[in-house]
Amino acid sequence: MTLQTETLIPTSAAVETDDFGSLQRQMIIILDFGSQYSELIARRIRETQVYSEVLSYRTTVEQIRQLNPKGIILSGGPSSVYDPGAPHCDAQIWDLGIPILGVCYGMQLMVQQLGGGVERSDRGEYGKASLRIDDPTDLLTNVEDQTIMWMSHGDSVTHLPEGFEILAHTENTSCAAIAHHQRKLYGVQFHPEVVHSVGGLALIRNFVYHICHCEPTWTTAAFVEEAVREIRAKIGDKRVLLALSGGVDSSTLAFLLHRAIGDQLTCMFIDQGFMRKLEPERLLKLFNEQFHIPVEYVDAEERFLAAIAGITDPEEKRKRIGHEFIRVFETESRRLGPFDYLAQGTLYPDVIESADTNVDPQTGERVAVKIKSHHNVGGLPKDLRFKLVEPLRKLFKDEVRKVGRSIGLPEEIVQRHPFPGPGLAIRILGEVTQDKLEILREADFIVRQEINRREIYHDFWQAFAVLLPIRSVGVMGDQRTYAYPIVLRFVSSEDGMTADWSRAPYDLLETISNRIVNEVRGVNRVVYDITSKPPGTIEWE
């Protein structure tokens, strides 16, 4: 599933006043019950060119009325609706007169709160299932009978509330899709948002267009126009300092801010010593000479290495790097400033994965679990002296690429593989040293050379090397060696939320392995990571 060329739909949280994007437009909201797929639902809605945003399940009916959405989707979640302390939404939601679609847990909650029954199933249903359609109208219009949908549930509906009827079933689930047509309340036991659900997007389109009567009004041009207007209104005549890394996120932000406020923007590139080979030089040449956006260069390698010296815990490493970034900005801003705002290219997946465990102090309900901190959302000190500007905070990577392309960013940057803010420091497991950085930098350079030489760079979402903090025995030149292994990590993905390991050609892996072992001193073994996300993450730390 891909977005149309001209499409980009941002989302923003109602409680975050610094997010860009007017809320006074038609939209679909997703109430999140702790599912890792909640943001994927939002992304699928955006593929229909309709604005969407994700809110907590604790959002009140009054708050929903103020947002005036055209429709509501209740996400899945890890709980059972009958568990003590299971998350429940405001029961008045069913009387709003707004179309509602419950997905998995969301459907079960709808059934329970409206008087139906949900119990533990004798047999769970996980993975692909053939959907047998009983009512091919309304929600299931143009969804083919026996199409494959993705199931993931151990509970099932035992009896429906008054006025509901069954729209579809599977071999193991009698109520796979349900509806109360008069009240426009719908539920599906499967996950239409995941790529494995063949008819999922058609179902979502039916809900968005035919049931909620939304119009496809959001485009890249509309986002850029509004973002520029919001930036100017927020910043006024103040000055902004941008943390430029050279990736598509910060580069797109630089172009967007430069269009909005011109010389009020100062771009600063902090070379923390964790960049890939030749990238700092390339970045400065592009921005200073080709784009005519001046960049202040700061060499802070020694400072960053000292900040994480001896640190082996990945979470602590990320936080220290994030903390040091801010401190360097503060130091340099005194020289170049004063600045009122710090601009960051934070994206939605960064925010999602950095979310702390969400605990209701009264009920103890848990919603989302922190996976890992990101450098631009997890390490900010409490005494931060800047106000943050994050216009891209609610966008996915593919959406940012569309914005970048629309405002003139070259393909070289638009299609650049994602690169983490902490750089190579989190691709070296355990303690980071100068020697290890040089080893990984050279190995990573070989990886990029070979996939570019074969013109398959864009076949991968990411392709990189990882250095492990162990050594193994080898033999080179009839002599015993005791050296580091390099892990090759090639993945395919749409947005970084989920990913599959790439089936890279064997001869490519062989060439890369031979070159690394022969050309990079300190390495005697190369292995290939065949783990998907989940259960693994794309980065190793």
The H-or-E segment that residue 507 falls in is helix 506-519
Q: Which two tokens stand for residue 203?
A: 């179902």
* Exposure b/e, 346-365, CB count within 10 A at least 16 = b: bbbbbbbbbeeebeeeeeeb
DSSP-derived 3-state class of residue 210: helix
Residue 181 appears among annotated catalytic residues? no
| Strands (E) located in 350-492 | 387-389, 462-467, 472-476, 479-492
Report the SS3 class of residue 144.
coil
* H or E stretch covering 335: helix 314-336
Task: Based on the residue annotation, tell me whether 193 is a catalytic residue of this protein.
Answer: yes
Distance CA 491, CA 539 (A): 10
The H or E element containing residue 527 is strand 523-528
Q: Is 258 a catalytic residue?
A: no
| Rounded Cα gap, residues 164 and 179, in angstroms | 5
Q: Which of 83, 160, 172 is nearest to 363 (CA)?
A: 83
**CB distance 538 to 491 below 8 Å:** yes
Choose, from 89, 104, 175, 214, the residue flagged as catalytic. 104
**Whether the Cβ atoms of residue 467 and residue 429 lie closer than 8 Å to each other:** yes
DSSP secondary structure letters along 342-359: EE----HHHHHHTPPP-B
User: Which of the residues 53, 193, 353, 541 is marked catalytic?
Assistant: 193
Structure tokens at 184: 């426009």
CA torsion, ordered 436, 439, 442, 445, to nearest 10 deg: -60
Mention every residue, 6+ apart, whose C-beta is less than 8 A from residue 413. 246, 247, 248, 251, 286, 404
Tokens of 65: 């009325």
**Residue among 169, 180, 191, 258 flagged as catalytic:** 191
DSSP H or E run through 375: none
CA dist list (Å): 229 to 20, 50, 235, 477, 504: 9, 20, 10, 65, 44
The span from the CA of 326 to the CA of 317, in Å, is 15
Query: Residue holding tokens 């219009």?
Result: 141
Active site residues: 104, 191, 193
